[in-house]
Amino acid sequence: MHSVVSRSLKVFTTTLAAALLALSTPALAAAAPPQTACANRQVPPPPVDTSEKPAPGSQVPAPPAVPAVPAGGPRMAECGLVTPNGALNPPDGNTAASWLVQDLDTGAVIAAKDPHARQRPASLIKTLLALVVVDELKPEQVIVASKEDAEQECTCVGLVAGGQYTVDQLLHGLLMHSGNDAAHAVATALGGDAAAVAKMNATAAKIGALDTRAATPSGLDGPGMSTSAYDLSLIFHYAMKQPEFAKVVATKNFELPPAGGKPAVPVLNDNKLLGVYPGFLGGKTGFTNDARHTYVGAAERKGKRLPVVMVRAEQKPTKVVDQAAKLLDYGFALEDDRAEPVGQITYQAPGATSENGDSSALGDNGTGNSGTSSAAAAAKADPFGVTGWIITLVVFLIIVGGFVVGHARRKAAN
């Protein structure tokens, strides 16, 4: 009798342990932090100068937290090339540390390289500033340029102290020629540099740009400045939904009015693909010593609109705009082949809730691309949860085990 009961208990214990292991393994795997050697997962590369040295008495802010679930899908956590299965590699000669090509209408990520690595945006952060301007300032509002505006560290569009400019005119100078003087003027209208930066960071958080922290309105390097190719793609995707922004970045020539006895100032769009690359829709360029060259530009072909973002790129062996053009060609070729997307641009931030209380749809000015994380989708699909199923199985096996042991004892007694 003893041996029969022992064998029954052994079988029961082994079965219970195997079942618990089978159920708990996925949960443990999901909870375990990703094992990765990705460079710059938390912070950009070290600065090469003193531009990010904090003011006396201040400290460099802690880096933005790295989300447990990568925005855009699991493949967006990969470090190197992220391309569709079976797709050809991107063209040679690309110098960007990170890049991303997406579909501007669907938000599908077509291909990327180290999309969530933390980098510096340089003047691409002006896209985020422009979003705040479009949201808070009326285009016809008049701003009087100050001496401080006119004396900003350039690139500058040529504001004259005492000159009167509309917000629309300053937005053209900001985005077409990357004017730091225009950036300072609109930042002052938003409450000053600190207030403008706070509003920029609030906008980034609202739309789910979790790698991004603006440190200056213009994109000049500052303590804690951070973004990623994914975030800049998300911000540009969001910005191109705003008609005022899309119109300005597609403008090739503009003119600021005469001021202070000086003649009108011609403004030329510094994005060299505009008017050269077929179907080009506009974009933005940037450079600082720490960020190196940054770029975003979009084009339309056969009804598809694709933007490319490049960060920490170099002008050799070929110009950054030529490298960008090749990536756009590559993206259109993948679209022609109907390649499977590798990710998805979404506007979902953790805990973000719309006005009606629905956390699955973040209010985004009518973009219609709310997105939900894979973790949230899984939780919604299985509200009972892994723990609930484990408890249920344990109770079931205990009941079955009781019957097995009881049956064994009765059989042994007979």
Q: In Å, how far from its chain's centre is CA 79?
A: 15
Instruction: Note the pLDDT tens digit of each residue in 363-386.
Output: 443 333 433 333 333 333 333 444
Instruction: Note the pLDDT tens digit of each residue in 234-285.
Output: 999 999 999 999 999 999 999 999 999 999 999 999 999 999 999 999 999 9
Contact 181, 154 (CB under 8 A): yes
β-strand pairing of 292-301 with 108-113: unpaired
| pTM metric for this prediction | 0.78
User: Who contacts 331 (Cβ-Cβ below 8 Å, separation ≥6)?
Assistant: 101, 110, 111, 306, 308
Contact 375, 31 (CB under 8 A): no
Contact 208, 227 (CB under 8 A): no
What pLDDT, on the 0 to 100 scale, is given for residue 38?
85
User: What gap in Å lies between CA 99 and CA 89, rounded to an integer?
Assistant: 14
Work out the percent of the chain whose per-residue pLDDT is above 70: 75
- pLDDT band at 411; cut points 50, 70, 90: low
Identify any residues that bridge with 344 across adjacent strands, giving them in sequence order.
Answer: 108
For the chain, the average pLDDT equals 84
| Catalytic residue numbers, as ranges | 123, 126, 178
Instruction: Note the pLDDT tens digit of each residue in 198-214.
Output: 999 999 999 999 999 99
23 has a pLDDT exceeding 50: no
The continuous run of DSSP H or E covering 374 comes out as: helix 374-381
- pLDDT band at 326; cut points 50, 70, 90: very high
| Burial class, 393, CB count within 10 angstroms (exposed 0-12 / middle 13-18 / buried 19+) | middle
Helix (H, G, I), strand (E, B) or coil at 224: coil
